[in-house]
A and B are shown apart, each in its own frame.
Chain A
Amino acid sequence: MNRVEAAAKNNDQLFIPYIVAGDPTIEVTIDLARVLEESGAHILELGVPYSDPLADGPVIQAAANRSLQEGTSLQTVIDTVRQIRAAGIQIPIVLFCYVNPILKYGLHDAVKAASEAGVDGWLVPDLPYEENDEMKKTCNEYGNVLISLVAPTSNERVKRIAKEAQGFLYCVSSLGVTGVREEFDSRLDTFITAASESSSVPLAVGFGVSKREHVARLHTQGYGAVVGSRIVKEIEKYETMLRDPHQRSKALLQIKTFVQSLVSS
């Protein structure tokens, strides 16, 4: 079984952190992968930085810019995953990548290279369900899953998307882009219930999940939690220390404590 599928199936309190690869440097990304694994993450969502990240709010946009300034590309991220695996880190990895870098690399070549490096799945936020045939087929050919996103506005599409979901079904908690939020959209419960009725895989909720109470609430309801911007914000806070080899381990420890505080009940 694919590592993402196994992790989603075997953990009823699924915790999926998101970071941008190369933020602030590739070396730090490898360290962070280890820290997140040790903090109890079940799947790592690794963002490939993009010049025009339409689905992302300001926090992740800024992280992508930091990473792009370091020269990070899809190739670099694939190479980073290879290093993560070489360092003995086992956590299942899903690449969160906009479609254009994949097309430029060559869809087939990208999926193949990533799979060989140790990637377990892909999430392509700007590739709608109606257009994802080739990507899905290629992912499956290389033993990867293609994670699907559904939003409260997906309406009757929710059923169709949920039915064919692989690994876990990523439910967008509210309208709009990624980012830290205080409250969830009021329609969340109805929408998630509808999604879970049709889904053959576990659900994970993301976009705006930023507090221990959010994570706890989702876990109590039996859903996984994806935390992105809030963790990326923490990485931003320690950027200078993370870049300094002498202070890095101290910063990593701070981040670890923070991430653990998100999931400890």
Chain B
Amino acid sequence: MAALEELEAGLKEALVDDAFLAEYEEVLREYAGRETPLTYAKRLSETVGGAKIYLKREDLLHTGAHKINNAIGQALLAKRMGKTKIVAETGAGQHGVATATVAAKYGLECKIFMGEKDMERQKLNVFRMELLGAEVVPATSGSKTLKDATNEAIRYWVSHVDDTMYLIGSVVGPHPYPYMVREFQRVIGDEAKRQMEQLPDAVVACVGGGSNAIGMFTSFLDEPTVQLYGAEAGGKGIETPEHAATLSKGDRGVIHGSLTYLIQDEHGQIIEPYSISAGLDYPGIGPEHAYLKDEERVHYEAITDAEAIDALVKLTQTEGILPAIESAHAVALALKKASTMNRDQSVLICLSVVETKTLIRFVAY
């Protein structure tokens, strides 16, 4: 708790410090490659025959994912708070790579916890992180995936809070993390809103923990004409036990210091979720998404592995843009919505991550 209070105080100061904010914006621009383009997906829109589809191209950022926005923000904060070491969890490896990247840039000692199973599945990202100078520590407890990597990162952090900052990769964890990560990701939606000639009728993003979605949605929450949709990982179908559809199928519980929706058994033990995407298989969800669901401001729907693969192929073949499978979940849901809308309407998709890691697995399909 003391560490969280210290972090909250440090964050509060930083977010009203013009010099800090200016540096954050400058690094986003000159290092990460902001602003990212807004792409009108003409051929994809024509194929669907409904609303015009626009893509917010977070996949074009340095390291290939929106994760770098948050990693830069938190690394600058760590520096400002006098921390010399950073620790992070990673699932698919995107956040781990982003964290290792900023650690290299700022000369911070970096430890990344990664589930042993994920290390096996994402060898290339493990190699990248190590090349960047980070130590990748296998999480061997529990199900040996993202939630266990998070457990191990928290266990490590509470033992080393004096000199270490914990960089959480999504809008999860205890306060102030969900708030902080949202603030460092909202640049996605702020930019997109500026870039669109008029307000979109629908905005779609994928949700695992939910950081790119919150980053995208926040700027549109106060626009009542804009429908917001979150695509959850439906895995092999939400009627099967193999999915990661936390909001569609989970219920109230506490994970990693957040009261939210949770995939759990009847006794309150957390169940390891399943998704084809290692970026979406988190058993919880950012608490703000839980709130937005209950308020019915955002509609969350599950997309199956097969639907996501289908959307990935469609986007690739009509636009020459190959998204990561997690982002393809958003594309799949957007295609469903666009097909029921007319040509004067528009759908904005957050294309959060570029494909770099799992392509070979689709050969099986």
Contact of B267 among A52, A75, A153, A157 (CB under 8 A): A75
Residue of B nearest to A99 (CB): B254
B1 in the interface, Cβ–Cβ < 8 Å? yes
A54 and B253: CB pair below 8 A? no
Asked if residues B253 and A157 are in contact (CB atoms below 8 Å), the reply is: no
**Contact yes or no, B268 A74, CB < 8 A:** yes
Asked if A157 and B2 sit within 8 Å, CB to CB, the answer is yes
Contact between A68 and B269 (Cβ–Cβ < 8 Å)? yes
In the complex, A104 has a CB within 8 A of chain B: yes
Tell which of B158, B262, B266, B270 has the most Cβ of chain A within 10 Å: B158
Answer whether A176 and B1 are a contact pair too, CB < 8 Å, given A51-B269, A104-B267: no
Q: How many residues of B contact A (CB 8 A)?
A: 28
Q: Which of B314-354 contact A (CB under 8 A)?
A: none
Q: Are B3 and A153 in contact (CB under 8 A)?
A: yes
Q: In this assembly, does B277 line the interface, its C-beta being within 8 Å of a C-beta of chain A?
A: no
Closest chain B CB from A129 CB (angstroms): 8
Is B141 at the interface (CB under 8 A from chain A)? yes
Interface positions of B from 217 to 269, Cβ below 8 Å from A: 252-257, 262, 264, 266-269
Residues of chain A with a CB closer than 8 A to B256's CB: 54
Q: Is A126 in contact with B257, judged by CB distance below 8 angstroms?
A: yes
| CB of A236, distance to nearest CB on chain B (Å) | 15
A175 touches B160 (CB 8 A): yes
Residue on B nearest A76 in the bound complex, by CB: B267
Check A101/B159 contact, CB under 8 A, given A61-B141, A128-B1, A130-B1: no
Q: A51 and B270 in contact (CB under 8 A), knowing A58-B141, A157-B1?
A: yes
Give the shortest distance, in Å, between A182 (CB) and chain B (any CB): 15
- Known A103-B252, A126-B254; contact A175-B158, beta-carbon cutoff 8 A: yes
Complex CA gap A102/B255 in Å reads: 13
- B81 at interface by CB-CB < 8 Å: no
Q: Which residues of B contact A130 (CB under 8 A)?
A: 1
- A62-92 at interface with B (beta carbon < 8 Å): 68, 73-75
Complex CA gap A155/B1 in Å reads 10
In the complex the two chains form, is B159's CB within 8 Å of A102's CB?
no
B356 close to chain A: CB less than 8 A? no
> Inside 8 A of A216's CB, which chain B residues have their CB?
none
Question: CB distance B141 to A104 under 8 Å?
Answer: no
Cβ–Cβ contact A50 & B1, under 8 A:
no
Is A254 among interface residues, defined by CB-CB distance under 8 A?
Answer: no
Residues of A within 8 A of B142 (CB): 51-52, 61
Would you call B1 and A54 a contact (CB within 8 A)?
no
Nearest CB in chain B: distance from A70 CB, A: 13
| Contact mask for chain B residues 156-169; partner A; CB cutoff 8 A; 1 contact, 0 none | 00111100000000
Residue of B147, B160, B161 near A52 (CB, 8 A) is: B147
A155 engages B252 (CB within 8 Å): no
Which residue of chain B lies nearest to A130 when distances are taken between CB atoms in the complex? B1
Contact A177-B270, Cβ < 8 Å, known A130-B1, A157-B1: no
Smallest distance from the beta carbon of B173 to chain A beta carbons, Å? Answer: 11
B contact residues around A129 at 8 Å (CB) = 1
A52 to B264, Cβ gap below 8 A?
Answer: no
Q: A102 to B268, alpha carbons, bound, how many Å?
A: 8
Produce 1/0 per residue, A98-112, CB < 8 A to B: 011111110000000
**In this assembly, does A154 line the interface, its C-beta being within 8 Å of a C-beta of chain B?**
yes
**Do B151 and A54 touch (CB < 8 A)?**
yes
Q: Tell me the bound Cα distance from A99 to B264 in angstroms.
A: 13
Contacts of A157 in B (CB 8 A): 1-2
List A contacts of B161 (CB < 8 A): 153, 175
A–B Cβ pairs within 8 angstroms, 12 of them: A52-B142, A52-B151, A54-B154, A61-B142, A99-B254, A100-B253, A101-B268, A102-B268, A103-B268, A104-B267, A126-B257, A129-B1
Given A73-B269, A99-B254, A157-B1, 19 more pairs with CB closer than 8 A: A50-B269, A51-B269, A51-B270, A52-B148, A52-B151, A54-B151, A57-B155, A61-B141, A73-B267, A101-B267, A101-B268, A103-B252, A103-B253, A103-B268, A104-B266, A104-B268, A126-B254, A126-B257, A155-B2
